[in-house]
Amino acid sequence: MVALLVTSFTFTASRAAVQKADTLQVSVSLRDGSRIIGNPTLDSIGLQTRYAALRIPLRLINLIEFTKKESEAILSLSSGEKLMGTVTPGVFPVRSLVGVVSIRQDDISTIVLLQKMSLSDSGLIAFYPLHGDAKDKTAHGYDGTVRGAEPCVGRSIIPNSAYCFDGKDAHITIPDGIIRYDTPAFSLSVWLLTPRMDKQSIALYLGAAEGEAVIQTMHGRLNFSLIIANAVHSASAELPVNVWTHVVGVYRRGERAEIWINGERKGETSLPEGDLTHGFPEHHSAIGSYAPAQVAHKRGFDIRNWLGSIADVRIYTRTLAPEEIQSLYAADH
């Protein structure tokens, strides 16, 4: 019966489509009662609502329910919101075990989207999408606590798909110890937007209670900085203002630190052998702030909280390979 419902059938898919689809799995229920399971080869769909034409990444969607009207659907988003409108392009391609099947949308009743483990999920110890809350979406339970930051529109103009920070007191606390001071390697991945580069502002801080590492703006540059033997070591790069930018910091103990911008390595620095310094147990980890409880200390050094938006914070207990960083940027872009 499935063969009557497909408009095309092929055994090939582009490498880029495969890389993006590998992080999602879908279960497509058809109106005749059959079902197709696989990976979508689209990374987003168009939705024409009464108010606007939207382009919505599949990673933000939990469920698509098609009504009896052709191509009209209700989308349930991971933020908890629902949108209604007409879906384009009219077919939904799925890479199944037998190849890519393009299913007519008027033959679909529901599409359930599920996150799936991929190569880039290996070693992922904490993941904060920041889609309406600060929960860690891994099984490790490193949930954050929002303190003054506000949910806001993210890269895809979807409400509640990022958090906005006021540059003053707003931040999100996260647990210490996600990365240990004696770790051999780790990687930090985050999407950032800021209107200024003239201040020292903190995007992501792993507190000195377990070893100090930070992604921050400083002297008009974006730095991935580490404290080793009480000295600061930074990989530096330019960060465009008022533009969503993907940033990755990579740490290799005793070798080097790297900073990647939008899938390209833009800076690195060599590192001495030694643990990350952890001499200030009262300085705790946070998104958007340095040692958030130590207000007098950070203001004495003119260290500001983040001004702008942050989304999709990932922390890995290993180094990410170049192709993984590029795949993360492509999948989230």
Please give the pLDDT value at position 313.
97
The upper half-sphere exposure of residue 201, i.e. CA atoms within 13 Å in the direction of its Cβ, equals 28
8 A C-beta contact, residue 285 and residue 215: no
> How many domains, in total, are found in the chain?
2
Q: Are residues 153 and 46 in the same domain?
A: no
Reported confidence tier of residue 82, pLDDT bands at 50, 70, 90:
confident
239 phi and psi angles, rounded to 5 deg: -125, 120
pLDDT digits (tens, 9 = 90+) for 129-181: 999 999 998 889 999 999 999 999 998 777 889 999 999 899 999 999 999 99
User: Picking from 18-22, 24-28, 215-219, which range would have the lowest pLDDT averaged per residue?
Assistant: 18-22
Q: Which domain holds residue 215?
A: 119-332
Instruction: Tell which wins on pLDDT, 4 or 140.
Output: 140
Q: Are residues 18 and 125 in the same domain?
A: no
Enumerate the β-bridge partners of residue 314.
127, 189
Residue at a domain's end among 115, 148, 172: 115
Q: Are residues 104 and 132 in the same domain?
A: no
Q: Are residues 132 and 85 in the same domain?
A: no
Reported confidence tier of residue 19, pLDDT bands at 50, 70, 90:
very low
pLDDT digits (tens, 9 = 90+) for 252-271: 999 999 999 999 999 999 99
Q: Are residues 93 and 56 in the same domain?
A: yes
CB neighbours of residue 279 within 10 Å: 12
Reported confidence tier of residue 333, pLDDT bands at 50, 70, 90:
low
| Three-state secondary-structure class, residue 135 | coil
- Tell which phi-psi region holds residue 262, choosing left (phi > 0), alpha (psi between -120 and 50) or beta: left
Q: Are residues 227 and 324 in the same domain?
A: yes
The upper half-sphere exposure of residue 252, i.e. CA atoms within 13 Å in the direction of its Cβ, equals 11
Residue at a domain's end among 115, 140, 160: 115
Residue with tokens 């647990």: 175
The proportion of the chain whose per-residue pLDDT surpasses 70, expressed as a percent, equals 86
pLDDT digits (tens, 9 = 90+) for 105-139: 888 999 988 755 454 567 899 999 999 999 998 88
Distance (Å, rounded) from C-alpha 105 to C-alpha 224? Answer: 45
Please give the pLDDT value at position 21.
39
State the CATH number of the domain containing residue 276. 2.60.120.200
Q: Are residues 204 and 148 in the same domain?
A: yes
Residue at a domain's end among 87, 115, 143: 115
Instruction: Please tell me whether the overall predicted TM-score, pTM, comes out greater than 0.75 for this model.
Output: no
CA 105, chain centre distance (Å): 29
Q: Are residues 73 and 125 in the same domain?
A: no
User: Picking from 43-47, 106-110, 282-286, 301-305, which range would have the lowest pLDDT averaged per residue?
Assistant: 301-305
Tell me what the pLDDT averaged over the chain comes to: 85
Helix and strand element counts for the chain (H, E)? 3, 27
Q: Are residues 86 and 142 in the same domain?
A: no
Distance (Å, rounded) from C-alpha 187 to C-alpha 79? Answer: 26
Q: Are residues 91 and 177 in the same domain?
A: no
Q: Are residues 258 and 283 in the same domain?
A: yes
Reported confidence tier of residue 8, pLDDT bands at 50, 70, 90:
very low
Q: Are residues 86 and 224 in the same domain?
A: no
